[in-house]
Amino acid sequence: MATSSKKWKASYDSNSKYNSNWEKTYSWLKRSSDGSEAAYCKLCRCTVAPRITSISNHEKSEKHRMKTPSKSQSQLITTITPRQSNDKVKAAELQLAVSNTHN
């Protein structure tokens, strides 16, 4: 009886490994932080299969596009000038230091 049918043949996809070069194309992409080969979308905060087709499909998905900041609108940085009020505190500290004059 020769029952050596190779049923569980390697269905493992050897191409599904994370490639850090993808980050050059997709700035929102990073490697999953759990040490696996999975990719991770920083915008959607979800895991993406480590395949270029899955990644490009994810970029086109409506979910992802909603999160993508439009390139025409550059980020406006509003500069807030802090108020300067440090001098009055120092004067109060000097008055407290006078009371102890015993040797």
Backbone angles phi, psi at 31, to 5 degrees: -75, 145
Nearer to Zn ion, 62 or 87 (CB): 62
Nearer to Zn ion, 34 or 93 (CB): 34
Nearer to Zn ion, 19 or 47 (CB): 47
Minimum distance from residue 23 beta carbon to Zn ion (Å): 13
Minimum distance from residue 75 beta carbon to Zn ion (Å): 19
Minimum distance from residue 25 beta carbon to Zn ion (Å): 14
Minimum distance from residue 26 beta carbon to Zn ion (Å): 9
Where does this chain bind Zn ion (CB under 5 A)? 41, 43-44, 64
What DSSP assignment string belongs to 45-93? TEEE-SSHHHHHHHHHSHHHHHHSPPSSSPPP----PPP---HHHHHHH
CA-nearest of 45, 59, 64, 52 to 17 is 52
Nearer to Zn ion, 19 or 56 (CB): 56
Q: From CA 18, how far away is CA 37, in angstroms rounded?
A: 5
